[in-house]
Amino acid sequence: MSDAGPPQGAKAPVGGSAVHAVTSVGGISHPRDILLGAQAAAGVLPVCDHYSGAPARMRKSLQLQAEMMQEFGACVFDVTLDCEDGAPVGAESEHAALVAQLACEAAPGARVAARVHPVDHPAFANDMATIASQASHRLCHIMIPKVESVDDILVAERALELAGAAHLPLHALIESPGAVHRAFDIAAHPRVQSLSFGLMDFVSAHGGAIPASAMTSAGQFTHPLVVRAKLEIASACHAYGKVPSHCVVTEFSDMAAMQSAASRAARELGYTRMWSIHPAQIRPILEALSPAQDEVLGASKIIAAAADADWAPISFEGVLHDRASYRYFWQVLERAHQTGRALPPVVQHWFASPCT
């Protein structure tokens, strides 16, 4: 087992999740500090990112988020308030102001983000000036759609700085063949926290060369060009310690298809986060991207034994473990907490804050 360092040129993520805020318990170093390295570099984000853009739906999404925070004892999904698809044409400024207002009014501990217009859209500058400046203290990140290269990230970064929100991380939506080609460069930028795959625009960008069936819940896992794009994005994220976020499933009334797609995204393609576009999709995503309870129990035993051994190598049930495998099992526990799984008492003290 190896403790190899991060890829050449890799930089630590900026503005990581609040999950990294707790660094010690009772004066003892936290596993998040101990288990550093390329294999554990990825920021921990909620596994579901729920999008809504119409005013009534944005309010309902924030209400549902608050209710589920009470139910699970953790922020189990982000709410991204959408300016790109949510703003009526000609009323972009008013919509941006509403997004900033709703973000500021969100429940304490809520994770709220905003998707602004693309950097070359006339409304982009106002989106950033309004939302990032007025609500930066309540936002967890800004999503930039239609990112084509690192140059777009630099434009967005400058807009954040002008708005007095230089601390906010950026998420990038990859939606074209060219952007997929440059995914590693985009993921390497320290301001970028996550890359998402935009399935519909990616298929459309091929001018009919990819059939419409590749946009379905099943077809998007079988068409070679789509699968290749998903793998490139996931690989780029894991190379630089960023979070790969899987695309939407438009058949929102088919929960079996939703859960199947989420499971395949996680288990076959390496995605640790997924978009929701309907409230009914949130729980299937949480279930599909949650570790099984027996896996959580096993990981808890190994991490507790490792801590007792001051993180030296151990033999557990006849199998050798060291920090390389500890990283994996710690990530299981992080994912369990972020999806509301019950954690055994032996590891609960490392997750003391309700929304870390």
Domain-located, residue 274 = yes
Domain-located, residue 5 = no
pLDDT per position as a tens digit, 17-50: 333 333 444 445 788 888 865 444 456 799 999 9
pLDDT of residue 38: 41
pLDDT of residue 42: 54
Q: Based on the domain organization, do 195 and 255 belong to the same domain?
A: yes
% of the chain beyond a pLDDT of 90? 74
Q: Based on the domain organization, do 328 and 204 belong to the same domain?
A: no
114 beta partners? 81, 142
- pLDDT exceeds 50 at position 207: yes
Domain-located, residue 176 = yes
Domain-located, residue 99 = yes
Domain count, the chain: 2
Judged on CB neighbours under 10 Å (0-12, 13-18, 19+), 114 is buried
% of the chain beyond a pLDDT of 70? 89
What is the overall mean pLDDT for the chain? 89
pLDDT of residue 28: 53
Question: pLDDT class for 233, splitting at 50, 70, 90?
Answer: very high
Q: Which is it for strands 314-316 and 319-321: parallel, antiparallel or unpaired? A: antiparallel
Q: Based on the domain organization, do 91 and 193 belong to the same domain?
A: yes
Question: Which tokens is 144 given?
Answer: 């930039």
Q: Based on the domain organization, do 233 and 309 belong to the same domain?
A: no
Judged on CB neighbours under 10 Å (0-12, 13-18, 19+), 294 is exposed
Q: Of 236, 257, 288, which marks where a domain is finished? A: 288
Taking alpha carbons only, the member of 124, 190, 122, 120 closest to residue 162 is 124
pLDDT per position as a tens digit, 148-201: 999 999 999 999 999 999 999 999 999 999 999 999 999 999 999 999 999 999
pLDDT of residue 30: 84
Domain-located, residue 33 = no
Q: CB–CB of 348/303 below 8 Å?
A: no
In which domain, by residue range, is 213 found?
46-288
Q: Of 260, 288, 316, which marks where a domain is finished? A: 288
Domain-located, residue 182 = yes
Average pLDDT over residues 250-268: 91
Q: Based on the domain organization, do 340 and 297 belong to the same domain?
A: yes
pLDDT of residue 204: 97
pLDDT of residue 265: 96
Domain-located, residue 243 = yes
Q: Of 288, 315, 344, which marks where a domain is finished? A: 288
Q: Based on the domain organization, do 166 and 199 belong to the same domain?
A: yes
Q: Based on the domain organization, do 224 and 326 belong to the same domain?
A: no
Domain-located, residue 252 = yes
Q: Based on the domain organization, do 248 and 284 belong to the same domain?
A: yes
